[in-house]
Amino acid sequence: MKVLSVASRYSEQPEELLITISRVKDAACPYRYFKAYVERPKAQASFESIEAGLGTFFHAYVENHFKRILASDALIASNHTLDVPDVVANFRLAFLWEGRLRAPYKVVRSTYGLDDFIRRLEVVATNFNAFLVRRLSGHRVVGVEGELQIRTDEFYIRGKHDLITQYPGGDMVLWDWKTGTAPKPEYYEDFRNQKVQLGIYAVWMRHKYGTTAVRGTAVYLRDGTVELSERFHPSVEAEVLLYAGAWRRRVNAQASYPPIPNNLCDWCGWNPVCPAYQGQSASIPVRSHGSPLPASAPQPASSERRTCFIATAVFESSDAPEVTMLRAFRDLRLSPHPVGRVILQIYDRLGPAAAAIFKCSPMRFMAKRAIRLLLRLLPDLGLPQANDSVGVADSRPVLDRDATRGNPAHTTGCGSHVE
């Protein structure tokens, strides 16, 4: 196989011609690979775990951050660090609005709740700041978040980059942020996949910018800042093409797609429909698009059953963000407690009458302000927390489980978003 050309955009291609790191990783479970990339019409995963959501959120936040630096035409400086409290506040809102009450971003283990992930995010953002000051100060931003494609004489190799920078007189570096921990060389499969991904970056940079002074670098931010790099070399290009081509040919020849349960099943969006679990989730019931909860599952606090009478009247929509947050507070904080339930019963009796008053009253404006003031206190109330969403059989800590082998959970979906 040899490189014919490179592009900064994907072109439409049949599945059997595409090679990406996501595909390579997902192929470890053939059923998962089939659902994600082969099935026609393409099915939607039932949910996205907060494990993956944290990585997606962090990448989007950092992307906007560097786009602002790029727009200002300034070199990266030590005062370009992230505002960690702002990162956390935005994540809480993203979880509440995008996750708790809609489909994605489920906390899928009862032993870990939103606050555990928030603590992890704080560590990741703090480590990122230290890295930026130490390693990126003085760099020029060349590109932020983009597609890359390599056309070979057989297949198309694809990826996405987070950031490209250049230090005056130095290598051009394609940076890939990882919110997990680094793969260990002793767990060869993960380590090799990571090196191949970085090799793809280096090959693309070589052909895109016409220089060999290029490298791809992954930065793992969960435990300190660990860098893993691949500098361009003709032997790297040869290895990437050899490995990627062999993988694609093997998968194209595959005749069946059996599920192979693994330690990512808890976080797998296909779990509710996976034959390995016969319609039941690996360890947790997950509410999903069109996928009913198993009968044994604890029913979710139903936002649909009860109405936020007053807030809906004040904001004139049951879908207003403020109403959504109040519903979350009611379902997650008040409903589980006896005193909270008494308060809700009283509210149910008095709410409709009060709502009628606010509906046509000039007091609506004041009520809006009062509710918004109240909502500013909600993050301090720890909304939502462990046990909010699910009941999980497995109580082993995530890190303990992950440490049992080279677990792709450290990297999959947490920062690796090559596609």
Q: In the complex with ligand SF4, which residue's Cβ is closer, 182 or 274?
A: 274
Q: Are strands 214-220 and 18-19 parallel, antiparallel or unpaired?
A: unpaired
Applying CB under 6 A, does 34 fall inside the site for ligand SF4? no
Applying CB under 6 A, does 261 fall inside the site for ligand SF4? yes
Applying CB under 6 A, does 32 fall inside the site for ligand SF4? yes
Q: Are strands 156-166 and 18-19 parallel, antiparallel or unpaired?
A: parallel
Piece in contact with ligand SF4 (CB under 6 A), picked from 253-261, 340-348, 366-374, 395-403: 253-261
| Count of residues of this chain found to bind ligand SF4 when the rule CB under 6 A is applied | 15
Tokens linked to 163: 């950031």
Tokens linked to 397: 């800590």
In whole angstroms, what is the distance from residue 379 CA to residue 167 CA? 40
What is the number of alpha carbons within 13 Å of residue 363 lying toward its C-beta? 11
Pick one of 270, 309, 315, 358: the residue that binds ligand SF4 (CB under 6 A).
270
Applying CB under 6 A, does 109 fall inside the site for ligand SF4? no
User: What are the angstrom distances between the C-alpha of 418 and each of 145, 151, 371?
Assistant: 11, 16, 41
Applying CB under 6 A, does 31 fall inside the site for ligand SF4? yes
Per-residue contact string for residues 54-83; x = within reach of ligand SF4 by CB under 6 A: ------------------------------
Q: In the complex with ligand SF4, which residue's Cβ is closer, 39 or 419?
A: 39
User: What are the angstrom distances between the C-alpha of 301 and each of 103, 280, 332, 349?
Assistant: 15, 20, 7, 19
- For ligand SF4, the binding residues in 279-298 under the rule CB under 6 A are 282
Tokens linked to 259: 């599920």
In whole angstroms, what is the distance from residue 40 CA to residue 215 CA? 37
Applying CB under 6 A, does 412 fall inside the site for ligand SF4? no
Applying CB under 6 A, does 274 fall inside the site for ligand SF4? yes
Q: In the complex with ligand SF4, which residue's Cβ is closer, 47 or 270?
A: 270
Q: How far is the CB of 269 from ligand SF4 (least distance, A)?
A: 8
User: What are the angstrom distances between the C-alpha of 394 and each of 49, 50, 265?
Assistant: 16, 17, 12
Applying CB under 6 A, does 158 fall inside the site for ligand SF4? no
Applying CB under 6 A, does 303 fall inside the site for ligand SF4? no
Binding site for ligand SF4 (CB under 6 A): 29, 31-32, 259-262, 264-265, 268, 270-271, 274, 276, 282
